[in-house]
Structure 1
């Protein structure tokens, strides 16, 4: 049984709720994010529900790539081993290309892909040495097609993350290493990144939405569209519908 989980970007949104739900299942947690005061509140909440819960907090800006490797190795030393890493940290700033918002599109690209690459590298160095572990990346349903307006760069980074995850899986399969790799593609689950978005079809509340993510992660699915309904069907259609139809989702 996997016992120890590292979650990046755990101070809010889907990361914080995953922490709550995994803690309730008895996992030991390594939670990291830039906002340590929010991590402290989350740890206190978890330990108020279960005084025996083991939660280790660390400040981490995933764009500080050296810090990613250092923090992951600190967790390994303190826990003794790491059983699962969830590459969750991300952002959604940006706008249509060519409208003066390059600064924000660049921030999104660096955080959602380059920093995710660093996290995958750091996790896999540990997993290869252990000859065990489960790597999980959190992408998005938007990874399946190009998206308009503020979603353009965000969707592109999630598509890159989806392909990166599959490439890692292929490499580990080729090497016959017992390290499963999962990519979770959430549909519209309410969180801080989309709290101002209104009238979105199929928007799911945070707790049930994250519950579907946790279930898929525990089953170590290779690729999971969550919640299953309606997002498996939406994913099937997105790959096949004309762009002018798909773009209405952005």
Structure 2
């Protein structure tokens, strides 16, 4: 069995999840990668092993809205990898519509995936960590969690605020133990989630650069981090305290 540290990443078939897998493999970690699209996971596994043949990369199909599957897959990966040092709750949806416009289905799908799916993943990961006596939970939230947002982002922002509070509650619950918790608040980072949104938003960075900031914060086991730190750490203050009229212009 490898002596490398291990990371499980959900939503790893594309975007931020796939790039985190590449960068953590570069740092010497063995990986457990989960997503619904196993064909993409297999391609990513082959890519990583071509660069790092000494790495171990376990791949599992997972729909995070299937509670039973979440618990089964997480415990299976713990057995296959020997342990789980870090678990990154990354799987999510960016769908949504303005409330009251007859498009509840899209909002519900986002809410179920982003919050209930994250709840199941967190619960399963904590079972493994409590048995091991240690571990590092990483929750991928969003800068949108800083403030309730209008239009098509209302539900998405609410789910990301919810998962941030979920992780912070876990941190309080395990305080004083060897279980650590990090909440990441990514700003505009290029990924499949924001493809086709009508042009690049301002201050967007490449997937590689954005994920590098995420990985650095995880490696430092920060309690929370806006990533990349510039401009998003100071922007978090603006988002939290801007008058509503100004906020609407910003978003």
TM-score by length of 2: 0.96
Aligned equivalents of 2:250, 2:152: Cα separation in 1:
12
Contact 2:4 2:28 in 1 (8 A): no
Are 2:231 and 1:230 equivalent residues in the alignment? yes
Who is 1:144 aligned against? 146
Q: How far did 1:238 drift?
A: 1.0
In 2, Cα distance between equivalents of 1:248 and 1:170: 36
Kindly indicate whether residue 90 of structure 2 is the aligned counterpart of residue 82 of structure 1: no
Instruction: Name stretches of at least 5 consecutive residues in structure 2 with no aligned partner.
Output: none
- Structure 1 residue runs of 4+, over 3 Å off? none
- Whole-angstrom CA distance in 2 between matches of 1:120 and 1:249: 32
- The answer to whether the 8 A contact 2:37-2:61 is kept is yes
Q: Superposed, which structure 2 residues align to 1:73-222 within 5 Å?
A: 73-173=75-175, 176-197=176-197, 198-222=199-223
Aligned to 2:244: 243
CA distance in 2, matches of 1:246, 1:130: 44
SS at match of 2:148: coil
Deviation at 1:200, TM superposition (A): 1.3
Give the TM-score normalised by the residue count of structure 1: 0.97
User: In 1, distance between residues paired with 2:229 and 2:180?
Assistant: 21
Contact 1:2 1:83 in 2 (8 A): no
Query: Which deviations, in whole Å up to 9, do the C-alpha atoms of 1:13-40 show, x marking residues without a partner?
Result: 1000000000111100000000000000
Aligned residue for 1:204, secondary structure, equals coil
Q: SS of the residue aligned with 2:31? A: strand
> How many aligned residue pairs are there?
248
CA RMSD of aligned residues (A): 1.1
Superposed displacement of residue 54, structure 1: 0.8
* Structure 1 unmatched runs, 5+: none
Q: Distance in 2 between matches of 1:153 and 1:110?
A: 11
